[in-house]
Structure 1
Amino acid sequence: MFLAPKEIKEPTGQCLVYCPRRVQVSKEFTFDAAHHLFNYEGKCKSLHGHTYRLQIAVSGFLDDRGMAIDFGDLKTIYKEHLEPRLDHRYLNETLPYMNTTAENMVYWIYQEVAFHLPKERGLQVESVRLYETPFSYAEFRKEWDQDGI
């Protein structure tokens, strides 16, 4: 049962979930890492580093607390499965064999989050955005994952 906000006065044992639709939740992280690019003629060919900014957006239907996913659960996924391979690392050694462009990295991060996301209430990764500089980012979205590779 969904209650309009004016009907909610105090917990009475009824469900306090108001929104019956899918809701997106996003959390942001930063990490520092070094890498170099293969098959590239420019200064990024050499070893260099970035302070990356990562945004992970997940959607789902609300639980009995009125949450799609707890922000702390997204933080746990990052801390346990992403941060050990990203933060203060040489990405060419800690990530799967790839050219460590923001485009390749954002897809890998999308896949990792999707794999570790609880499969309840229709939770799904909507998008992952990775800023390599304050004004340059790569993004991967769920609707672009057509092939399901």
Structure 2
Amino acid sequence: MATRIFKETHFDASHRLMHYQGKCSRLHGHRWGVEVWMEGIIDATSKILIDYNIVKQVVEVYDHQVILNKDDPLAAAILPFQQPVLTNGDPTSELLAEDIRYRLNSFCRENNMDAHVTKVRVWESDGCYAEVDAE
């Protein structure tokens, strides 16, 4: 029998969209919201599908970070001060939702957990979110 869980969390981070024409092409920050839905078979011993804190820890990789496209020249300028989080493409809410889905599914596979993400929603601001479903 499949079990489903839901976890909501937040992180604060800056980003810029270097391939976008408009104010989002400048470095700016958000209080991002993240919603994660997962399902699978609960562990026979712990009776837990996945610890909610693991979901939070996976998302916290972005917290108080500068998130940039790996090809963004700004990444090299920031590197002497801190390691930015680099993405394969502009760090849009759409891309971050996909990245969170990938990171969580990878964690479950690497830890032999029978759990997977069914949906991730990333809120960039009130009323604006991107969502990805399971493949």
What is the SS of the residue equivalent to 2:87? coil
Q: Deviations over 1:93-132 (max 9, x none)?
A: 3133320111111111110000012433x31111111000
CA distance in 2 between partners of 1:115 and 1:63 (Å): 17
Alignment of 1:1-149 (within 5 A): 21-64=1-44, 67-70=47-50, 73-79=51-57, 81-84=58-61, 86-92=62-68, 93-117=84-108, 118-120=111-113, 122-142=114-134, 145=135
CA 1:76–1:39: 2 relative to 1, 3 Å = same
> If the length of structure 1 is used for normalisation, what is the TM-score?
0.70
8 A contact 1:68–1:123 mirrored in 2: no
Q: Which one scores higher on RCO, CA 8 angstroms, separation ≥ 6?
A: 2
CA distance in 2 between partners of 1:96 and 1:69 (Å): 28
Pairwise CA RMSD: 1.9
- Pairwise CA distance, 1:76: 2.4
8 A contact 2:104–2:116 mirrored in 1: no
Structure 1, unaligned runs of 5 or more: 1-20
Structure (1 or 2) with the larger CA radius of gyration: 1
> If the length of structure 2 is used for normalisation, what is the TM-score?
0.77
**Aligned residues, how many?**
118
- Pairwise CA distance, 1:67: 4.1
Q: Deviations over 1:53-104 (max 9, x none)?
A: 001111012444794525xx2312432x4313x0011011313332011111
Point out the structure with the larger strand share.
2
8 A contact 1:25–1:68 mirrored in 2: no
8 A contact 1:31–1:88 mirrored in 2: yes
8 A contact 2:121–2:130 mirrored in 1: yes
